[in-house]
Amino acid sequence: MIPAPKTNKPKVSVYKFSSCDGCQLSILNLEDELLDLASAVDIAYFLEATRAVKPGPYDVGIVEGSVSTPHEVERIKEVRSECKFLISLGTCATAGGIQALRNFSKPGEYARTVYAHPEFLHYLDTSTPVSAHVPVDLEIWGCPVNKGTVVEVLAALLQNRRPNFPPSPVCLECKRRSIICVAVAQGIPCLGPVVHGGCGALCPANGRGCYGCFGPSSTGNFSALIASMMPHDRYPNETANLLRSISCASPAFRTAADTALKAAAVKETK
C-alpha cells in the first residue's frame, strides 16, 4: 500500500484509454464525497475533470479503459513508469470490456464494412486489460464501477490498509433486496452465481439476468453454472454467448465460454 506522505498530499492521476468514460463519471458523481477526496489528495492529472495538469511522478495512477490501439500499448508503459501504485478502474481496464468481443472475430472485416476509409484507422485485433501489458497493483471491477468502492479504495490507500471488497456474488445481493430469482422463476439465464457483487443486482431487479459486469467471483463455480444453464438455452450457444459478453477477456469467463462451446459441439455430434 502507499502511505500518505507526512507533509504533502498524495498525487493522484486518472487516465482514459479505450472506454466510454462511464467509470470516470462515477468518480465525478461522488458529489459530497468528492469534496472530501479533493481535500485528502492532490488530483494532479484528470482531463475529464480539469485541464490543469501537474507533472509526475504520481503516487497513485487510475486507468480506465482497455488497451485497444498501438498507441495505447506504448502509453500504458509510460503511465506505469510515472505511477508508484497503479489501479485498473472498471471492466474495460480489468478484462478488456465490451470491445473485447473483437477478440472472437475479424476486426478488419468490420472496419471495411463500417468505414469508408478503414486505412485511416489504427487499432489492434484484440482488446486487452491493462494487466496484459504492465503490472497492476489493484483492480476495481464494474461497468461502471461502484463509486462507493472507489472511495473505499482511496481511503484504504490513505490509511495504509487493505481495501474492504464485499466477497459475495450478485445472488446474495438479490437475496438482500428480496428480488425473486429470474433464473428459477422465469427461466432467464443469469450469471449471478459466479459474478462479484457490487452493482446492487441492478439487472435482476429489472427482470433481466446478470451479464457479468463486475467480473468473476472468487467463489464462483463455473462448471456448475454451465451444467445447470445449458440445458435451458433458448437458442444455440446462449450460455456461451452470455459468458462472452462484458467480462469476456477475463480468464475465468474465457475458459468457461470455451468449455460451454465444446460441450455444445459434442452434444451436436451425438
Per DSSP, the residues of 111-180 read HHHH-S-GGG----SS-B-GGGTS--SEEE-BTTB-HHHHHHHHHHHHTTS-------BHHHHHHHTTPP
157/161 Cα distance (integer angstroms)? 6
Q: Which is higher by pLDDT, 23 or 167?
A: 23
Task: Quote the pLDDT of residue 31.
Answer: 77
Provide the residue ranges of all domains of the chain, joining segments of one domain with +.
11-158, 170-269
Asked if residue 209 has pLDDT above 90, the reply is yes
Residue 182 in contact with residue 209, Cβ under 8 Å? yes
Set of cell numbers at residue 216: 468473476
Residues 239-251 have a mean pLDDT of: 91
Task: Return the minimum-mean-pLDDT range out of 31-35, 92-96, 101-105, 235-239.
Answer: 31-35
Q: Looking up cell 487516465, which residue turns up?
A: 15
37-50 pLDDT, tens digit each = 878 889 999 998 88
Name the band, by pLDDT with cuts 50, 70 and 90, for residue 1.
Answer: low
Task: Quote the pLDDT of residue 5.
Answer: 47
The topology under which CATH files domain 11-158 is Rossmann fold (3.40.50)
Task: Quote the pLDDT of residue 4.
Answer: 47
Predicted structure pTM score: 0.88
